[in-house]
Structure 1
């Protein structure tokens, strides 16, 4: 009896994009389970446990406040500089943590990739779900600090706008991780360069200063406004500190950045699907 092998496909072969998305949805239980378990054990080796999820950003933010607020006095002309830097730090480093971890997801997930058949995009997705769950603790701390640290702010319904900002930021983070994961897999040295890139990104996002205080150059200020992280920080600060609703231009820019980077990241990641089980030579 003849055996028809025409319908057989090699293990790890790249399916059509739509089928790939369907299979990724099918892996959602693995993604959620992996994210929750890794978050649960992430601080098990420490005495304070999950408290460090909140304490780490607070301590780093306090360090930046001492250096840039008290010593370098970049706080001049900024109302509620304490809240300004708390929000800036906690929202900015959510993206950099997710970006770096997502970009390294394939390089760090080789045992899973070689042992099981599943859409590889589940790896950066699981990392971003874990980072998003971790960020919920950070957001709770951020709200509490803005409420209790002088000059304290009052809660308003407009604070709810932090939710869509956070969701768009999460989509952007996921796309960024997928975009760089194939590159880090092929050229591991890129992982070291990312530390420099994120540091440069930090200084160009207005994390601890207002750009207009240091320059009135229209081109430079326009570049700041095109930076998605600058907009995320400004929108969150406006909502929580200054009773200012984000403009339609800000929402549009953030939606374009989040959707565009996610789509580019998905396509780049999918096109390299077959290469992820290959050992680098």
Structure 2
């Protein structure tokens, strides 16, 4: 025998909920409301990013000093492998700064994507417990990597100051970094949604980004290598549309005094276009699945 009256059905409960102003917690909010709510959680994004940075090095004896040592060790390994053993430094002035700059820029995007792909799937308990814009999580991951990037760039500028001296062009670091950060946010939001529903993506991403690494001109100048191989100019134009190659190139233009001969064509325009496409497209793509995160 039923303990509830037959007349109390789904329709009656829905009407009661509407009467008292209740709504489904899993309903995707309107785009404008979502943006405003996300802006209201900006302090949470900052605090969560700081907490992740602290937790990452809490168990290490050297602590946050690893934020400086890790990128330097990576650059040293690649300098040995590519600069010395493969002699990719031939014809490139100040190859040390050239290589480190490329490594830092690429690592900023690589780590944002890899960490961001786990930002939803790795925080299910938080997502299922609290109501908040889910985009705050991948954005906090990007902010965490931006902190690392700023420290790395500080090291690079010290190296360049010793080898080449100061330059007014260093001011271009700000717009270059802003463009790449916007691109990283869009890509991280995209891969956060994909990673939430495709567990195998986390295993594939390291291989995908490693392949991307070798096609982005981190270790050598793409135009120089292609011209030495007598490749037609249209090939250089096509490869210039690689977004990471563009971000690396505009950062090198800002930092390195003798980078002019190694420029990719239209790098600033290409970088700006990729930033707008990734940021707008990635944000909308992530928002459209907002009500699905945490289910299952």
Q: Does the 8 Å CA contact 1:171/1:262 hold for their aligned counterparts?
A: yes
SS in structure 1 of the partner of residue 113 of structure 2 = helix
User: What residue number does 1:270 align with?
Assistant: 287
What is the TM-score normalised by the length of structure 2?
0.88
Range with bigger deviation, 24-33 or 214-223: 214-223
For the aligned residues, what is the CA RMSD?
A: 1.9
User: What residue number does 1:119 align with?
Assistant: 133
Q: Does the 8 Å CA contact 1:153/1:240 hold for their aligned counterparts?
A: no
User: Is there any run of 5+ residues in structure 1 with no aligned partner, and where?
Assistant: none
How many angstroms apart in 2 are the aligned matches of 1:190 and 1:155? 43
User: What residue number does 1:161 align with?
Assistant: 172
Q: How many angstroms does 1:250 deviate by?
A: 2.6
How many angstroms apart in 1 are the aligned matches of 2:123 and 2:288? 18
Q: Does the 8 Å CA contact 1:165/1:232 hold for their aligned counterparts?
A: yes
Q: How does 1:1-281 map to 2 (within 5 A)?
A: 3=16, 5=18, 7-148=21-162, 152-215=163-226, 216-242=231-257, 249-279=266-296
How many angstroms apart in 1 are the aligned matches of 2:209 and 2:232? 24
SS in structure 2 of the partner of residue 69 of structure 1 = helix
Q: 1:194 to 1:274 in 2, by over 3 A?
A: same
What is the TM-score normalised by the length of structure 1?
0.92
User: Is there any run of 5+ residues in structure 2 with no aligned partner, and where?
Assistant: 1-14
Q: Does the 8 Å CA contact 1:179/1:269 hold for their aligned counterparts?
A: yes
Q: Does the 8 Å CA contact 2:118/2:192 hold for their aligned counterparts?
A: yes
How many angstroms apart in 2 are the aligned matches of 1:207 and 1:255? 20
Q: 1:243 to 1:251 in 2, by over 3 A?
A: same
